[in-house]
Amino acid sequence: MRLAPDKLAELEEMAYQIRRLCVEMITYARWGHIGGSFSMAETLAALYFQAMRVDPARPHWPERDRLVLSKAHGSPAVYAALALRGYYPAERLYSYCELGGLEGHTDLTCTPGIESSGGPLGMGLSIAAGMALGLRYQENPRARVYCLMGDGELGEGNIWEAAMFASHYHLDNLIGIVDYNKVQAKGFVWDLMQIEPLADKWRAFGWDVLEADGHDLEALVEALHRARWVMPRGKPLALIAHTVKGKGVEMAEFNYHWHTQAPEPEAADQMLRELARAYGRPEEGYSRLPAESGKEAFYRGE
Amino acid sequence: MANDASGAPLEMREVFGNTLVELGRRYPQMVVLDADLNTSSKALYFKQAFPARFIQVGIAEQNLFGVAAGLALTGFVPFPSTFASFASRRALDQIAISICYPGLNVKIPGSYVGIPTSHAGASHNCIEDIAVMRALPNLRVADPGDNADLAAVMRAAMETEGPVYFRVTRATLPDLFGADHVFQWGKGHLVRPGRDVTLYGTGMMTGFCLQAAELLAAEGIGAEVVHLGSIKPLDAELVAESAARTGCAVTAENATIVGGLGSAVAEALAERCPVPLRRIGVRDRWVSSGGIAELLAHHQMRPEDIAEAARQAIRQKRGS
């Protein structure tokens, strides 16, 4: 699976735009998870712009591939990817966390392209397995279900119930992706609860396993190709994407302080300029004033 | 369907299993999921009739409801089946966020509710499910009063888009309604008219309310009995209308009185027609093991306890 140079350039651009839009929307909303959104940028670019068969004009197309975001706090990155893919105008991203806008955590009823509702961790793989089984029943052999999980949420028992179920039912139309960014809300994963040996765990649960550098687009595209077209043999597959939390902005990298923290406009400006320099794009800073969050008015007693 | 060969009522779980099969014939998109309890719940009958549409998930209730959500999202109508205790406690987050929040078309039976589960003890004698489920937006909640009501609730569940929770009592209940019984969400049933006090029952307790009404009739007290099979939405109109006529009320449920039917009726009456009210049910304690009669006496949930509560309510109404 070789990627044409212009396709690689497109995916890179999408990863850049996903990060940029995450900074925009999180700063504007004054809430959101930057670190875990940045770590998924390449994965989402590879999924929505290369691996997944989706049609933004037909979000409920039965034959489509589905992405279940189990780490639903990573919603900004998926919202950005969906906007870039054409599901809705990018302007809608500025409604993130507003009443009637994009939900803080994913809500499938109000955003085209979002396939599951979530928030509490550890639930997505069961939903994805149910979808994969449903597609099997419908004799829909082409569609795939991707489930994007965080590393910290692998501490949830529900994930491993689902892992057993998926292998028991031979769901080789299910591809689990672990965004293994090594950092969870309050520190390093190995410090809070060791999840290693991770590949062995998935194998022991009856899954095939691939590992890739989750910021290397060619490696990701190759792994997603193998997961879909080469590996299926009656077992679900886990792709462990080794990533860096906050990847792309130095102050956020491997830094749990940026698990959930909205940048002030000055920090956002710095982040956007740093991203532009890293991607060799014209520097463009943060230009919007954050929305009145309501908190200020609340504390002023209005 | 609801009766055995001699015409006596079947155990309620038998009707649950039979009705699953009846619905399975009519609705090809219906699937039943089980967490290793199908011989107890009688989801077994669906497994025997439609093995390809029966999904065993093993002992993993969180996964049971997550998988049900995924199946609903691919167009199936899943009945994830387990004991009420495990649905309302172990898997509550999955029911709330994976199913109820997006309003998915999942029908959740809660088997083995309340006192008649008896010997298994406090872990299994589920008393809090009405309160817990009633608090979830988008979810409809029902506790059917007899076999005809259960079958009607299940048919209504299939015909209603969105999540439903309904209780299945492990008991044989006397027939209250005929085979032509119609269940509607948000509609209660006036099963016995009376002028002195209203007895609001749900689930198996409606039968006890009728027995209590007999006891009261012998004393010259006219007790009206209203069956509230649909707990959410509640027929607040009928609740208020009846209380306005009789002037005092008793609720009876096979569950804790904290947050359950008694609370729902109290909320409706407080807003629409405040009257003296007594609540019969488990009084904020765990239901440990015991015989059914023994437990009903211990928790003061027998027909005579309902009758006594009615006398108290009437006294309060009269200010004596």
B78: which chain A residues are within 8 Å (Cβ-Cβ)?
130
* A296 has pLDDT over 80: no
Residue B99: CA count within 13 A, CB half-sphere: 36
CATH number of A65-261: 3.40.50.970
Q: Nearest 5 degrees, angle CA A242-CA A244-CA A250? A: 160
The C-alpha of A70 sits at a distance from chain B's nearest C-alpha, in angstroms, of 11
Higher pLDDT, B8 or B128: B128
What is the signed CA dihedral for A149, A238, A55, B101, rounded to 10 degrees? -40
Portions of chain B given CATH number 3.40.50.970: 12-168
CATH topology of domain B189-318: Rossmann fold (3.40.50)
pLDDT at B7: 80
- Whether the per-residue pLDDT at B195 is higher than 90: the answer is yes
Average pLDDT of the segment spanning B172-196? 96
Whether A127 sits inside 8 A of B69 (CB atoms) is: yes
Mean pLDDT, residues B190-197 taken together: 98
A33-47, A287-301, B263-277 — which is least confidently predicted?
A: A287-301
CA-to-CA distance for A118 and B81, rounded, in angstroms? 22
Best residue in A117, A138, A139, A144 for a mutation probing chain B (most B CBs within 10 Å)? A117
Binary contact (A127, B67; C-beta < 8 A)? yes
Q: How far is A280 from chain B (nearest CA, A)?
A: 42
- Tell me the pLDDT tens digit for each residue of B62-80: 999 999 999 999 999 999 9
* pTM (whole model) above 0.90: yes
| pLDDT attached to residue B43 | 97
Say yes or no for a CB contact (<8 Å) between B70 and A123: no
Closest chain B C-alpha to A185 CA, distance in angstroms = 20
Which ipTM value was assigned to this complex?
Answer: 0.95
**Alpha-carbon distance B259 to B124, whole Å?**
19
CATH fold, domain B12-168, is: Rossmann fold (3.40.50)
Q: Taking residues A124-143, report their average pLDDT.
A: 96
The pLDDT of B118-137, averaged and rounded, is 96
Give mean pLDDT, residues A71-82.
98
pLDDT digits (tens, 9 = 90+) for B279-312: 999 999 999 999 999 999 999 999 999 999 999 9
Subunit contact B67:A109, Cβ cutoff 8 A: no
List the domain boundaries for chain A: 65-261
| A172-176, A252-256, B152-156, B262-266: least confident range | A252-256
Q: What is the pLDDT of residues B216-274, one digit of tens each?
A: 999 999 999 999 999 999 999 999 999 999 999 999 999 999 999 999 999 999 999 99
pLDDT level of residue A297 (50, 70, 90 thresholds): low
End-to-end CA gap in chain A: 59
How many Å lie between the alpha carbon of A74 and the closest alpha carbon of chain B?
17
The dihedral built from the CA positions of residue A125, B67, A52 and A60, taken in this order, carries a sign that is negative
Tens-digit pLDDT profile for residues A119-129: 999 999 999 99
* Residue contact B70–A108, C-beta within 8 A: no
Q: A177 and A206 in contact (C-beta within 8 Å)?
A: no
Tell me the chain A residues in contact with residue B63 when contact means C-beta distances shorter than 8 Å. Answer: 126, 129, 158, 161-162, 165
Q: How confident is the model at residue B3 (pLDDT cuts 50, 70, 90)?
A: confident
Q: Rounded to 5 degrees, what angle do the CA atoms A111, A112, A118 make? A: 50
Closest-CA distance, B74 to chain A, in angstroms, reads: 6
B177: left (phi over 0), alpha (psi -120 to 50) or beta: beta
Q: Nearest CA of chain A to the CA of B201: how many Å? A: 36
How many residue pairs bridge chain A and chain B with CB atoms within 8 Å of each other? 101
**Using CB atoms, which residue from A118, A122, A135 is nearest to B74?**
A135
- Chain CA centroid to CA B138, Å: 17
B105 and A CB contact within 8 Å: no
Residue B137 near chain A (CB below 8 Å): no
Which positions in chain B touch A132 (Cβ < 8 Å)?
A: 70
Q: What pLDDT sits at residue B269?
A: 98
Model confidence band, residue B2 (pLDDT cutoffs 50, 70, 90): low
Check if A110 contacts B (Cβ < 8 Å).
Answer: no
Cβ pair A158:B68 closer than 8 A: no
Is the predicted pLDDT of residue B6 greater than 90, yes or no?
A: no
Distance from CA of A3 to the nearest CA of B (A): 32
Reduce the secondary structure of chain B to three states and give it as a string: CCECCCCCECCHHHHHHHHHHHHHHHCCCEEEEECCCHHHHCCHHHHHHCHHHEEECCCCHHHHHHHHHHHHHCCCEEEEEEEHHHHHHHCHHHHHHHHHCCCCCCEEEEECECHHHHHHCCCCCECCHHHHHHCCCCCEEECCCCHHHHHHHHHHHHHCCCCEEEEECCCCCCCCCCCCCCCCCCCCEEEECCCCEEEEECCCHHHHHHHHHHHHHCCCCCEEEEECCEEECCCHHHHHHHHHHHCCEEEEEEEECCCCHHHHHHHHHHHHCCCCEEEEEECCCCCCCCCHHHHHHHCCCCHHHHHHHHHHHHHHHHCC
Please state, for a pLDDT cut of 70, what percent of chain A lies above it: 96
Q: Do A130 and B97 touch (CB under 8 A)?
A: no
The pLDDT value given to residue B5: 78
Interchain proximity A126–B73, CB inside 8 Å = no
Portions of chain B given CATH number 3.40.50.920? 189-318
Whether residue A123 and residue B76 make contact (CB cut-off 8 A), yes or no, is no
Q: Which of A68, A117, A133 sits opposite B71 (nearest CB)?
A: A133
| Residue B274: partners with Cβ closer than 8 Å, 6 or more residues away | none
> Would the CB atoms of B75 and A138 count as touching at under 8 Å?
yes
| Residue of A284 and B256 predicted with greater confidence | B256
**Among B14, B50, B22, B4, which Cα is nearest to B157's?**
B22
Q: pLDDT at residue A269 above 70? A: yes
Check if A159 contacts B (Cβ < 8 Å): no
Please give the pLDDT value at position B319: 93
Q: Which residues of A fall within a CB distance of 8 Å from B97?
A: 117-120, 123
